[in-house]
Amino acid sequence: MANSEVQDYCRIPERLWEDPGFRTLPKDAKLLYLHLCTGPYRRPRSCGLVCAGPAVIAEHLGSDWTVEDVLEAGKILSASGLVEWDKESRTWWAPGVHFSVTNARWWKGRMRSLANMPDSPQRTQLLLRTIRECPELDEEDRGFVEALFESGMIDEGVYTEIWDEGIL
């Protein structure tokens, strides 16, 4: 398989199926959660952050889904803590979907992917979490983060917070 054909994938933790909070959800809420975690508009390395409005999601889920169905299932998921929805930026975040950083190349890919997503509180949380997870930022990594900031892809609040924590 050529590099251009490699698809990103998402791991759904097995513990999800044993989680009483998930097991008691209505079927529509479960399907929406799984769709948000594995759907076709997920960006590579986005760690559960999805940029798609309810109409797009309803279209992907099939003809029997309406925007109202997506919003209702989303409310249920939000109340359960499995998903956060930011209406202004049209982003959904499933905080439980998480990948640990395995190497510098993967880390930089995730940072680029997140930096290109619409600004939202969820994106900010993921950027901070990703920066904090990098085992050790070398000079090249620090330069990479600074370049993202200078280009406007990382906002000043995130940059200040990681600077204050001594990460940069």
- Using one digit for the tens of pLDDT, what is the confidence trace for 72-123? 999 999 999 888 888 887 878 777 666 555 666 767 777 777 777 777 777 7
42 vs 136: CA distance, rounded Å: 28
Return the axis-axis angle of helices 121-133 and 156-164, rounded to nearest 10°: 30
What's the whole-number average pLDDT of the chain?
77
3-state secondary structure of 91: strand
Pick one of 3.30.160, 1.10.10, 1.10.760, 1.10.3300 as the CATH number of 7-93.
1.10.10
Q: What is the pTM of this model?
A: 0.66
Altogether, the residues listed in the chain come to a count of: 168
Q: Count of CB atoms within 10 A of residue 31's CB?
A: 16
Confidence check: pLDDT of 59 > 80? yes
74 touches 92 (CB < 8 A)? yes
**How much of the chain exceeds pLDDT 90, in percent?**
19
Q: Read off the pLDDT band of 5 (50, 70, 90).
A: very low
Helix (H) or strand (E) holding 70: helix 67-80
Residue 30 has pLDDT above 80, yes or no: yes
Domain residue spans of the chain: 7-93, 104-164
pLDDT at position 98: 60
